[in-house]
Amino acid sequence: MGMLKNRLILAAMMLALPLAGLVFFGLLTEHNFNTLPYYTVDGPMEGQTLDAQRVGEFDLVNHLGEPFSSDELRGKVWLAAFYGTDAPHVAQVTRQLLWPNFRYRDEGDIVVVSFSLSPEHDTPEVLQEYVERNTRYNGFTGKWQFLTGEADDIDRVVTKDFMIQRDPAEPNNVATIWLVDTEGFLRGVYHAASEDAIRDAVEDIALLKKERDVAEYAREKLTETLEVHSELPVLGPEGHTIPAFAFTGIDSVEISHRSVEGQVKIVDYFFTHCPTICPIMSSQLARTQAWLKGHDLDGEVMLMSHSVDPIRDTPERLKMYATRLGADTTIWKFLTGDKEDLYDQARFGYYLTALESDTAAGGFFHSDTFVLVDQENRIRGLYDGTSTAEVDAMMLDAASLVVTDRH
């Protein structure tokens, strides 16, 4: 119901709809000038969650006839608008977008992207003519992209990524504008016909700029700290590396050694109904996830939690557990699979204990240790997963492996 509810809300955001109706639906609520939510199919949520909506990859063509893909928006804050040059209210939407374009005209990492809702009509030549005819828009070279392409590709972006359900009676008449952050997450939604809403969008862009600048400052301070960080030893017998593996993750997707190749790994063993140390260790990994994201290391350090009870810990059960933790499963993998393979990997790969036990609480015994593994699959650190001080040290050690590899 959540997906249907939210798509119906977005479908209502047509230019002809009174703004009061939008407030009634609860999507345009009181503006928050401190933090921006993340959006899911069920609406806005505080903090990034497993279900946070993210713009996927796309390959389209801009008004100059040049290929334009989602890769060109990485690391940028951007507004997404939806239009058709033959739509009755396109000029009104375009005028509204002049203000954010002008306000951030000197900042190349803040852009506007307009997706055509009528790609059969809006060829690059038509779009170019539209831009040239509206000469006031020409001063924003490279900062305002008008995109067209295959109808199926655009429809996927509009309906799936931006959760917009178009009115069959007026499919090109959509007044939804989304704000997208540097990682592609949806962080704000506005009505294009409202001047107040566009002012909010301009202010929210500033909030995302500040969020990005704080993260960049944190990265710089971390680099300074790590410059005096001592080199980590290689642990275990000479030449030991983590053996190849293939386990099952959430949604029954295979996770193998190839999936995490070239990345730093933080590894632990747990089980979802564990009554003792697992909740503590999982909360420490949740804290680690937040720290990695705050220091822009989430794409280079992977968290890997292996179940010692794979019969009970199915992919579905692991997904529920991950959701409760607020895990970002793009960087925190929960693994199940063949029990003997999981146990052998613990014993011979990571030098951890993992076994069934009639005397252990919950019926299983496993180490309370986090294992730090480098990009070459060597063990570089062992840490008490219940100790905040040791987990703090682990996070710095993981960062040092990333920074050393960058240089």
The CATH superfamily holding the domain 2-215 is Glutaredoxin (3.40.30.10)
Q: Could you read off the pLDDT of 107-122 as tens digits, one per residue? A: 888 999 999 999 999 9
Is pLDDT above 70 for 327? yes
* DSSP per-residue letters across 31-70: --SS---EEETTEEESS--TT--B----EEEETTS-EEEG
Distance CA 400, CA 228 (A): 10
pTM of the model: 0.59
Q: State which amino acid sits at residue 149.
A: G
Q: Name the class of domain 246-406.
A: alpha beta
Q: What is the mean pLDDT of residues 268-292?
A: 94
Q: What is the pLDDT of residue 246?
A: 97
Distance CA 22, CA 131 (A): 30
**Confidence class for position 34, pLDDT limits 50, 70, 90:** low
Domain boundaries, the chain: 2-215, 246-406
Q: Establish how many alpha carbons lie within 13 A of residue 358's alpha carbon, considering only the half-sphere containing its beta carbon.
A: 0
Q: What is the mean pLDDT of residues 143-163?
A: 94
Q: What is the pLDDT of residue 406?
A: 67
Q: What is the mean pLDDT of residues 64-68?
A: 95
Among 41-50, 95-104, 305-314, 327-336, where is mean pLDDT lowest?
41-50
Average pLDDT score, the chain: 85
Q: What is the pLDDT of residue 381?
A: 95
Q: What is the pLDDT of residue 87?
A: 81
Q: What is the pLDDT of residue 256?
A: 96
Domain 246-406 in the same topology as domain 2-215: yes
For 142-261, where are the alpha helices, taking DSSP H only? 151-156, 195-226
Q: What is the mean pLDDT of residues 18-41?
A: 52
